[in-house]
Structure 1
Amino acid sequence: MKQEIHFVTGKGGVGKSVVAAALALKLSRQGKKVLLVELGDQSFFKDFFELADVTFQPQLIKPNLSLALWTGESCLREYAQYLVKVESLAKLFFDNAVMRAFINIAPGLPELAMLGKITSGPRKYGPPMPFDCLVVDAFATGHFKALMEAPAGMAQAVQIGPMGEQSRSIIRVLTDPEVSKYHIVSLPEELPLKESTELSEMLQKEFSVEPTLVMNKVLDVNVPRASLQNAESLTTSDLGLFAQYLEQQLDRQSQMMDQAKTKFKKILKVPLFFETNPWTLVEKAVEKLP
């Protein structure tokens, strides 16, 4: 069985990290060994799940579910150590001030290193990746585009040699629909949906993949419209004003859902949950994922 990689992205503030955690938990409950990966310098899940720390090395947080935090530099360090086979030499290489400056300014190098680590399992390159699924809580939409474009940029710049070949092998994994799955999290609002649509169009054009739209925090109100309109007639009451507001929100939400259906072939809906306990919130979201 091929290792699956699930990328979860979306505009900042749409709840992509909770959706990523829910997807990872659901896959782990299916008996798969799952690694939930955060990208970047800071961990959202450390505070969210009240963990002591989140590091480069995976740590088990639930049965079959591990968590790790990967940065461009940490992935490059591991790659260098894998090549030279001596940790002290790799450390010397990265502790060099000139090299650190190069890493920070080289266009797309940190992103390429992270994608190299993420795709190392299917490519059978680098240290073993003993997981059935990776769920990547990726960058927000703008930075995610840069992440995805990094291998193509490097392959074009360096067409001969191991760096070019590694970049091309990463692209092959990213465009393999049996391995790489893409989930774009949005809200039923204009700006998040616009960014989601633009990212989807880019992924279809450049990678020939069909992402799934996860419409998050959807108002799920089982109140007949007639009841809302009757309550609205009491315009001087708080109930009447709330009914008016609720009907307007539902109308706007319906418009956004109709618009999304013209752009995405597959849409999942996750309701707005009034829940403060992190794991309970994630578990409720799990129930809404297929």
Structure 2
Amino acid sequence: MGKSVIAASLALKKSREGKKVLLVELGDQSFFKDFFELPAVGFQPTQLRDNIFVALWTGEACLQEYARHLIKVESLAKLFFENAVMKAFVNVAPALPELAIMGKITSGPRKHGPPLPFDCLVIDAFATGHFMALLEAPKGMAQAVQFGPMGEQSRSIDACIRNTDLCHYHIVTLPEELPVKEASELLARLQAEFSIQGKLLVNKMLQTPLSKKEMQEAQSEEGDLGKFANYLEHQLDRQTHMWTVAKEKAAHIQAVPLIFETKPWPLVEHIAETLK
């Protein structure tokens, strides 16, 4: 659906507003490493351009960094994570990796944990199911652990992700039936469970300077031109229908045009110019 490219475009837009931006990927594999032809993308930020940095965060890496921050002594932190009992706990503890990621993401506004010297974080998050597990982790841990530092920090993280002055949510979809249905369901869940109104970005919207009359006239042409005009009209009609469906489901919605560009930065720049 192009969510990673749109995340990069949003990061570029924020950097042009004068903010120092960290573009964060979640998971074990980096899309931006290959996309921007970088030597590597890891836990520590790598500079992409002026005021734009990129990093790749996993739950384990976030948890280890937080433990080192608390323990202070590197050798003790290393011993802590190499302990067989601790390794087993991390592997089976429900939502602990997700909680560690959310703690890292929200550490700046909460002023808790290792310093994160950026004005803005743009998170290229997981797909729908894993994304909801990510958001639900702090709430679940706060309910499970009522007292103590873990419960307190979980409630702090949960409050932060619900704060619309701090966090904005962009859901990227395509003007197609199944993606719009999935995006609409995600919007509804965000509203119902977190009182969050996400913004829907309908990506790869085909645009043409031709009027409907001109396309219909072209369909009478012999050969490939007529066939292509017929195909184009069909695609645009279908796209218009899906846009109407999407608008009924989203309070905030924007079309992102299909841009015929293969080079990474020109593509990101073109999309950044369209984002509101």
Partner secondary structure for residue 18 of structure 2: coil
Quote how far apart the aligned CAs of 1:105 are.
Answer: 2.2
Matches within 5 A, 1:44-59: 44-59=31-46
In the TM superposition, 1:130-209 aligns within 5 A as 130-209=117-196
**SS at the partner of 1:226?**
helix
Mapped partners of 2:129, 2:220: distance in 1? 45
| Offset of residue 272 of structure 1 | 0.8
Give 1:158's aligned amino acid: V
Check if 1:125 corresponds to 2:118: no
- The SS at the match of 1:110 is helix
**Secondary structure in structure 1 of the residue aligned to 2:115:** coil
- Measured in 1, the distance between the counterparts of 2:190 and 2:172 equals 14
Return the offset for 1:211.
0.5
| Matched letter for residue 240 of structure 1 | G
Secondary structure of 1:210's match?
Answer: coil
For 2:89, give the aligned amino acid. Answer: F
Decide which moves more: 39-48 or 91-100: 91-100
Q: Secondary structure of 1:135's match?
A: strand
Classify the secondary structure of the residue corresponding to 1:174: helix
Distance 1:140 1:37 in 2: 14
**Alpha-carbon distance in structure 2 between the residues aligned to 1:175 and 1:40:** 23
Partner residue, 1:32: 19
2:274 match: secondary structure:
coil
Shift of 1:97: 3.2
TM-score for both structures, normalised by structure 1 = 0.93
The 10-residue stretch of structure 1 (123-132 or 92-101) with the greater mean CA deviation from structure 2: 92-101
Could you give the per-residue CA deviations for residues 143-200 of structure 1, whole angstroms, max 9, x where no partner exists? 1011111111111111111111111000110011100100000000111111111111
Larger relative contact order (Cα-Cα within 8 Å, sequence gap ≥ 6): 1
Gaps of 5+ in 1: 1-13
Structure 1 Cα separation of the partners of residues 64 and 253 of structure 2: 38
Q: Deviations over 1:189-226 (max 9, x none)?
A: 11111111111111111111110011110001111111
**Corresponding position: 1:287 with 2:273:** yes
CA RMSD after TM alignment? 1.0
Q: CA deviation at 1:100?
A: 2.2
Q: Distance in 2 between matches of 1:257 and 1:129?
A: 39
2:236 equivalent in structure 1: 250
Matches of 1:254 and 1:62 in 2, distance apart?
A: 37
Aligned amino acid, residue 251 of structure 1: D
In 1: Cα distance, 2:61 partner to 2:31 partner:
18
Q: 1:231-256: CA deviations, max 9, x gaps?
A: 1123x511111111111110110011
Structure 1 Cα separation of the partners of residues 257 and 49 of structure 2: 24
Equivalent position amino acid for 2:220 in 1:
S
Equivalence for 2:253: 267
Relative to structure 2, which stretch is displaced further, 52-61 or 96-105? 96-105
The one-letter amino acid paired with 1:61 is L
Written as runs of structure 1 = structure 2, the 5 A alignment for 1:199-238 is 199-234=186-221, 236-238=222-224
Higher helix share: 2
1:239 is aligned to 2:216: no
Displacement of 1:98 in angstroms is 3.2
State the TM-score, normalized to the length of structure 2.
Answer: 0.98
The 10-residue stretch of structure 1 (143-152 or 85-94) with the greater mean CA deviation from structure 2? 85-94
- Paired residue type of 1:271: P
- Deviating above 3 A after TM superposition, structure 1's stretches of 4 or more consecutive aligned residues are none
SS in structure 1 of the partner of residue 129 of structure 2:
helix
My pick for the range that moved more, 243-252 or 97-106, is 97-106
